[in-house]
Amino acid sequence: MTRLHSLLLVGLALLGCEDPLQSVSSIQGPRLLGVRVSVAGDAKRGTPAPGESATAEFLLATKDGDPSVSFALEACTTTQSYSGIAECLATPFATALQASPIPGRAAFPFAVPADLGVNSGLRGLIRGVICANSELSGADSAAPHCADGQNGELSFDFEFGAAGSATANSNPELVSDALSLDGNPWLAATAGATETCPSSLLEVHAGSSHQLSVRLRDSDFEPLTQLSPEDPTRETLLVSHFSSAGTLGHAFSWLTAASPALTATMPWDAPKTVSGTQLIHFYFVARDSRGGQDFAERALCLVP
Amino acid sequence: MRGRDPDRITRSEAPRTTRKGALVRLRFTRFAFGALVTLFAARAVAENVAPDDATPAAAAVTPPRLLSSSAAVVPEGTHPTEPVTVVLSLGIDAEGQVSEATVVTSGGAEFDQSALTAVKGFRFEPARRGDAPVAVVIGYRYVFPAEIAPIPSVPPAPVPSTESTSAAEPMPAPPSAKAGGEPEEFSGSATIEAPAREVTRRTVSGEMLTEMPGTRGDPVRAIEVMPGVGRTSLNNGDPILRGASPNESQTFLNGAPVPFLYHFGGLTSFFSARYLDRVDLYPGNFSTRYGRVSGGVLDLHTKDPRSDGFHAGLDLSLIDSSAFASSNLGSQGSVGVAARRSNIDLVFSKFVPKNSYSVVAAPLYYDYQAIAAYHLNARNTARVIGYGSRDSVQLFFADPNDEDPSLKGKIGGTIEFHRVQLELESKLGDSTTQTTSATFGRLLASQQIGDLEQVIEGNELHARSEWRSELTTGLSATLGGDLFSWFMKGRYHGPAPGQFEGNPSDNEPNSTRRDISIEDSHLNIVRPGAYLEFGVRPAARVLLVPGVRFDYYGDLRKFSLDPRFTARYEVRPGFTLKSGIGYYTQAPEYYQALSGIGNPNIEPYRALQTSFGFDEQAGHAFKFGAEGFYKRLENRIVGTPDGVAPHFINDGDGRIYGAELSAEYHGHSGTFAYLAYTLSRSERRDGNAGYRLFDHDEPHVLSSAVSQPLGRGWLVGARFRLISGDPSTRVVGSVYDARTGVYLPKYGPINGDRDPTFSQLDVRVEKTWHLGPVSLAAYVDVLNAYDAKNPQGYRYSFDYSQKQPVADLGLFPNLGLKGEL
């Protein structure tokens, strides 16, 4: 109870005051936002089985969008610990190294060894460093890092599970029409990051306020095995939302199969001023807490 | 417990001073004014009221109130084997000074002189007839106890008084009585307490209970000025005693363990100061009567409500409001009630920012006490004490917390306990006393943070029974038993509990931690204990106290045997050397032994405590002391790496050592001053790792306090503390946990850094008016008068790349009004 009270009093004391710390929903510099594992030949499944190949894709965000990436990654096995950063139980079964940045979304293909004895509690782990628009230093060392000092360390654990098995897990899916702005469809931008706004982008005016919405589908809420009557019967999904400018009302939204319209809505206030036009990037990640993820990017053009 | 405690017989309101290890306590007994007038034909003698205008029968007389006393000492060279009684008659003038003192009943020339010498230093708030101060005569009875004989656990027979409707003889008319101007008469008694038997006991009583600056009148907070007491962090008031973890020390109320000491916020303890007689602090090497903890003990002792008629009062402040009422219960008893409620909820909603969260139930606490005491006969006194406390808050966060998305939905909880304590104190023969108590209660502690939930509720039963006897001259014995028992049910869903000290990852986002669920409908914990202690005087100035304590832990099927030894040597009157050594076994927390989240095979661990020092009573008012201590923790319970089963093991140890210096002054006019300094180091070792600092290692603790009446009802006081900052663990980086979407911190050496030094000045100003039988007071308690920031750790940005100091409570003026009838 003491911890609860401490949390409440410290947190409540800050509400209503301008928080000097950077908001989690504000993209000010390069950040890794999501990792999605897709099994080869069964892209919706995020749990490869021994002998199967899979690819991990990474959503890296920057203020200007579409970064070049460098990375040092490895895949290994781990167990689900009660807390702390996961560690490899054995020598990694896959590695990838890209010391100089290359354009495009980072991807890490790997194959799960066929003779991997997957037992209850054994999980997969992808860990390493990924950098946006930066060289990778110390690639050959035990501590590779981004040359420009950005924090690119990551850890992502997932389950092993063949299709139809008890541990199989599907990634949720942010389909093309999942996102809307003020109730209107908000489709992906067709142009890359530029200083000017493509005409295909939606425009918003400086100082305006808007509602962003993310809609999921009923099939995204997979059934769960109940260990007790109090356990939920279906997944609960966490939607994270980020913007490179303006202010989002909150950074996370929870959705259940019972949520109205299976939609998360969050307010966004555009910057109060703009010089000319400004391209603003938005990122959304949907997670099921078991390793299943999907992400989407959108953009707006800010005009005076 | 009263019968066991060598330091007291009665519960009274007077302050204490010590000399030669003896303590004086005064108790007033108020008598009916009609009977007084009938027997003594007294009339008011007041400065501004002519005798012809006096109408004693018309205006109520308020008896004098003792502001300060000085100790009466057992005369040097005397070692009474039976109690010695001296009855005095004291004239108290309209200024509150003792104008004359005469012996009414002699206890022997030396004891008479000791009593007469002591009363010369007494200072009273004068008696009043209406608003006017008047001279009165009071009867005082001192009881000098046998040196090692157990103190009679029942109050002495009432002093014959004019109030009584019994056949008791009235007090003889005082020699100073004059025809046409005889003062009012009252009666009181004082009891000299036996010399101390512990190595160190520090007591807060009298005006220090409620007038200590910076405590808002909270009697438990007053111990913060004492050596060996560390500073607790924001919102956590549990005391840190000689470098021990909060859970390694225990607070008792009349010998029964208290589950929660402070309301949330850590500003107010659960029991009203109105019915507290004193707070005893044992920072270490405590008696065998206390067990199951390895650190220190805080024992709160209640006092009986006033038996001199009806009294009531109110205290309204910014933080909370309280009220009390008391009355006599016939001629042999008294009853009193008190209640307190926080005021935070009245204004909380006004400060809630829009679109942040909804307030389902604003933070609210309350507590209540009810005490009834009755002297069944000259040898038996019974008490019933009911008390309870409740804290609750319920908020609703529609959107998840930006720092930890698992914090959503309902966030709040309730902690409450309600108890009834029955006590019986008996004198069995001339040299044996018995005290028995049983406490029945109901406890509920529930906490919900989104999907995380912890609930424990059920019944508790605690009991204690003790016999003290003087076996022969120079040898006494104390035999006792106590019981701690819980009959609870509970459920838990959340992160697996880990080691709560030396474990920075315990505060990481819940969403990154693996949840577990357990439910137990038979969480029964029965832990009986027994103890035996002797008081041996091989020589007149030497006291040896060997003892042993046995505890059985029913839930663990384990037992412990703790031998303890204390020695005191009175080198010369007023100067005593003292030392102690002993084992102190610590019971595991209940969840550390629960199957599923703990280790059913976990064992209690223990501390070896040693201490050596001296006490010096310099004159009536000054007292000094110094003490060194060393503690070694053995077989300490630590968490397993990554929290894997069995989750907790006995694979740790610790060492704590230091020195304490203290100086105390209690003046005649109600002044008190306190200065304390502690130099210490507290370290722990987890498994095979090297020693590290304890979470609350505070190498330097300097505390000082002063309180001074200025006359005309004014009282001012100040408290200053200068304390080393607590150790902290630096965050040296972070890793993005892509599965949960939050960052996990990477740490440097555990407790390898230290927060800045803490300093705080608190000031209290109070003005009291007396309006006939009513006293009114206005006060302001300014906490942190110069608004020191006192950072306590940091708050980090989501990726730990930025940090902001978390400041302690800033300048906070607590204004209040109180009235008392």
Let me know: does A182 contact A210? Beta carbons within 8 Å.
yes
B307 and B322 in contact (C-beta within 8 Å)? no
Residue listed under structure tokens 């005491």 = B373
Question: Residue B763: what are its φ and ψ, rounded to 5°?
Answer: -130, 140
Strand bridging mode B136-144 / B791-796:
unpaired
The answer to whether the beta carbons of residues B492 and B523 sit under 8 Å apart is no
Taking the CA of residue B450 as centre, how many other CA atoms within 13 Å lie in the half-sphere pointing to its CB? Answer: 18
- A153 vs A136: CA distance, rounded Å: 12
Do A85 and B804 count as a contact with CB atoms less than 8 A apart? no
In terms of Cβ atoms closer than 10 Å to its own Cβ (0-12, 13-18, 19+), residue B166 is exposed
Q: In the prediction, which pLDDT does A136 show?
A: 93
Q: What's the pLDDT at B98? A: 85
A152 min Cα distance to partner chain B (Å): 8
Burial class (CB in 10 A: 0-12, 13-18, 19+), B538: exposed
CA–CA dist B205, B212 (Å, integer): 10
Task: Single out the residue of B788, B821, B818 nearest to residue B214, CA to CA.
Answer: B788
Task: Residue B393: list chain A partners with CB under 8 A.
Answer: 5, 8
pLDDT value of position B461: 97
Q: Do A252 and B741 touch (CB under 8 A)?
A: yes
Tell me whether residues B733 and A153 touch, CB distance under 8 A. yes
Cβ contact A108:A76 at 8 Å: no
| Per-residue confidence (pLDDT) for residue A14, from 0 to 100 | 47
Per residue in B173-215, pLDDT (tens digit) is: 333 333 334 445 555 555 445 556 788 999 888 777 788 888 8
Put simply, whether B399 touches A (Cβ < 8 Å) is yes
- Is residue A140 pLDDT above 70, yes or no? yes
Round to whole Å and give the CA distance between A137 and A131. Answer: 10
The C-alpha atoms of residue B453 and residue B318 are separated, in whole angstroms, by 32
Amino acid at B574: G
Q: For residue B12, give both structure tokens.
A: 């009274």
Restricting to B residues 530-589, those with a Cβ less than 8 Å away from any Cβ of A are none
Nearest-by-Cβ selection for B399 from A32, A158, A250: A250
Decide: B699 and B679 in contact? Cβ < 8 Å.
yes
Instruction: Report the range of poorest mean pLDDT among A211-215, A249-253, B181-185, B685-689.
Output: B181-185
**How far B736 CA lies from chain A's nearest CA (Å)?**
5
- The confidence score (pLDDT) of residue B400 equals 86
Are the C-beta atoms of B137 and B91 separated by less than 8 Å?
A: yes
Task: Return residues 327-366 of B near A (CB < 8 Å).
Answer: 351-353, 355-357, 363
For residue B454, the surrounding DSSP H or E stretch is strand B452-472
pLDDT at B37: 21
In sequence order, the 6+-apart residues with CB closer than 8 A to the CB of A275 are: none
Chain B residues touching residue A74 (CB < 8 angstroms): none
Nearest CA-CA partner of A210 in A259, A278, A282, A274: A282
How far is residue B804's CA from residue B796's CA, in Å, rounded to a whole number?
A: 6
Q: Say if residues A155 and B746 touch (Cβ distance below 8 Å).
A: no
| Contact assessment for residue A8 and residue B234, using Cβ atoms and an 8 Å cutoff | no
Q: Please state, rounded to an integer, the average pLDDT across all residues of chain B.
A: 81
Residue A132 pLDDT grade (very low, low, confident, very high; cuts 50, 70, 90): very high
Taken as a whole, chain B contains a residue count of 821
Average pLDDT of span A73-96: 88
Average pLDDT estimate for A149-171: 91
Distance from CA of A4 to the nearest CA of B (A): 8
Q: Mark which residues 498-527 of B lie under 8 Å from A by CB.
A: 498, 505-508, 512-514, 516-517
Q: What's the pLDDT score for residue B152?
A: 33
Give the pLDDT confidence of B536-561 residue by residue, as tens digits: 999 989 999 999 999 999 999 999 99
d(C-alpha B429, C-alpha B79), whole Å = 21
Neighbours of B457 (CB within 10 A): 16
Hey, which residues 99-128 in chain A have their CB within 8 Å of chain B? Answer: 127
pLDDT of residue A119: 67
Distance, in Å, from the CA atom of A78 to the CA atom of A76, rounded to the nearest integer, reads 7
Rounded to two decimals, the ipTM of the complex is 0.94
Which residue, A66, A28, A60, is CA-closest to A188? A66
Element (H, E) at B35: helix B33-40
Q: Which of A127, A157, A128, A165 is nearest to A50 (CA)?
A: A165
- Would you call A211 an interface residue with chain B, using a CB distance cutoff of 8 Å? no
DSSP reduced 3-state for B565: strand
Give residue-wise pLDDT tens across range A112-131: 998 887 666 789 999 999 99
A200 vs B633: CA distance, rounded Å: 71
Residue pair B731/B746 in contact by the 8 Å Cβ criterion: yes
Q: Do B141 and B189 contact (CB within 8 A), yes or no?
A: yes
Residues of B in contact with A285 (CB under 8 A): 741
Considering only residues 7 to 66 of chain B, which have any Cβ-Cβ distance to chain A shorter than 8 Å? none
What value does the mean pLDDT of chain A take? 87
Percent of chain B whose predicted confidence (pLDDT) is above 90: 50
Q: Which residue stretches of chain B have pLDDT < 70?
A: 1-61, 67-71, 73, 76-83, 130-131, 145-196, 233-237, 265, 353-356
Determine contact, residues B607/B235, Cβ cutoff 8 Å.
no
Other CB atoms within 10 Å distance of the CB of residue A260? 7
Does residue A226 sit at the B interface (CB-CB below 8 Å)? no
- The answer to whether A285 faces chain B, any CB pair under 8 Å, is yes
Q: Which residue of A has its CA nearest to B514?
A: A82
For residue B209, give the H/E element and its range: helix B207-211
Peptide bond into B259 cis (omega under 30): no
Bridge partners, residue B338, by sequence: B324, B369
Backbone angles phi, psi at B248, to 5 degrees: -90, 0
